């Protein structure tokens, strides 16, 4: 069986996520055909995640502008100028800077955590395509070697080595996506009731899909304060407190009162990463993840 015949039997379907399904290798008659389909698949992945990064950045900047507006309305000139300078620096060279009020620190951290998550997902997707591409190339290299086309086989092997090294670099990016496992909640305590949820949640973010599939976030701060980030460039203050149940908090919208619309409970599982949110309106329970930082 020659190279073209061997490749004609190779069918590789990769599903990367919603809206990203690509098949390549089927009836590929040459190395050029296989490579063209691989490159098109990778380009599609980069386009998808590039759009997600742009959306994230726009939301971040709009939330920042809203925080600036609050400073302006409060007459806080010094902090307003510092916040404006930080935003302009970010827009010019991508530098987030540091300092400022707690709200600005939270916005920075939520942005970086979300960006790491997107970049991690992108890296994993490209890794899968690279691995599939290498599998196809390895078959081709074997066929070329059997046909005594050693120079061609060596050229193929060099590409495989390059993609393997690229996957090692991508693995480092994927490892920073906020999905690192944590020790069990309360692992240093004797029982769940002793665990202080308010202390554990400070500086962390909980992300979960809304009813329409849009990802939204709760970012937890000190003194029972939280920030809700959602679509339409929204950044809304929330409050939270522990309940009588172990590892559970109650979240509400201060402006609407503790019994108003927007109430929810968040229960963290023993792994310290997975959590379940119950929203009173609509009546819905959803799983999500807590970040390793923020």
Strands 215-220 and 205-209: antiparallel
pLDDT in tens, 144-182: 999 999 999 999 999 999 999 998 888 888 776 544 433
For the residues 118-131, what does the mean pLDDT come to? 90
- Reading the block at residue 145, the tokens are 């070697």
pLDDT in tens, 5-44: 333 333 233 322 333 333 333 333 588 888 998 999 999 9
Q: What would you report as the CA-atom Rg of the chain, rounded to the nearest whole angstrom?
A: 24
- The distance of Cα 123 from the centroid of its chain, to the nearest Å, equals 11
Whole-structure pTM value: 0.53
Top-confidence range, 57-66, 106-115, 234-243: 57-66
- 282: preceding bond cis by omega (within 30 degrees): yes
Q: What is the pLDDT of residue 104?
A: 83
Q: Looking at the DSSP assignment, which residues form a beta bridge with residue 241?
A: 250
Strands 205-209 and 284-290: antiparallel
Distance CA(263)–CA(250), nearest Å, equals 7
Q: Average pLDDT over the chain, rounded to whole?
A: 77
CATH number of 192-290: 2.40.128.370
- The DSSP string of 210-278 is -TTS-EEEEEE-STTEEEEEETTTEEEEEEEEE-SSTTEEEEE-GGG-TTSTT-EEEEE-TTSSEEEEE
> Do 269 and 276 form a contact (C-beta atoms < 8 A)?
yes
Could you tell me the residue ranges of all domains in the chain?
Answer: 3-174, 192-290
């Amino acid at each position: 069986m020659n190279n073209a015949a061997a490749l004609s039997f190779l069918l590789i379907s990769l599903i990367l996520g919603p809206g990203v399904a690509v098949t390549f290798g089927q009836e590929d008659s040459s190395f050029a055909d296989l490579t063209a389909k691989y490159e098109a698949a990778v380009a599609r992945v980069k386009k998808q995640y590039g759009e997600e990064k742009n959306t994230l950045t726009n939301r971040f900047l709009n939330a920042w502008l809203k925080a600036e507006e609050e400073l302006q309305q409060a007459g806080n000139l010094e902090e307003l100028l510092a916040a404006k300078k930080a935003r302009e620096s970010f827009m010019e060279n991508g530098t987030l800077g540091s300092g400022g009020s707690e709200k600005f620190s939270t916005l920075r951290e939520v942005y970086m955590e979300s960006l790491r998550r997107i970049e991690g997902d992108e890296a994993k997707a490209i890794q899968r395509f690279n691995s599939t591409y290498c599998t196809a190339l390895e078959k081709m290299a074997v066929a070329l070697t059997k046909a005594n086309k050693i120079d061609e086989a060596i050229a193929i092997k060099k590409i495989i080595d390059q993609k393997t090294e690229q996957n090692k670099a991508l693995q480092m990016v994927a490892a920073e996506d906020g999905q690192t496992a944590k020790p069990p909640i309360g692992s240093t305590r004797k029982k769940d009731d002793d665990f202080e949820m308010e202390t554990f949640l400070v500086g962390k973010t909980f992300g979960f899909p809304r009813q329409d599939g849009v990802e939204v976030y709760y970012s937890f701060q000190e003194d029972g304060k939280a920030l809700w980030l959602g679509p339409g460039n929204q950044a809304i203050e929330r409050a939270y407190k522990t309940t009588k149940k172990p590892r559970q908090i109650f979240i509400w919208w201060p402006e609407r009162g503790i019994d108003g619309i927007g109430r929810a409970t968040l229960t963290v599982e023993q792994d310290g990463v997975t959590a379940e949110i119950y929203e009173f309106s609509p009546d819905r329970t959803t799983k999500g993840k807590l970040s390793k930082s923020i």
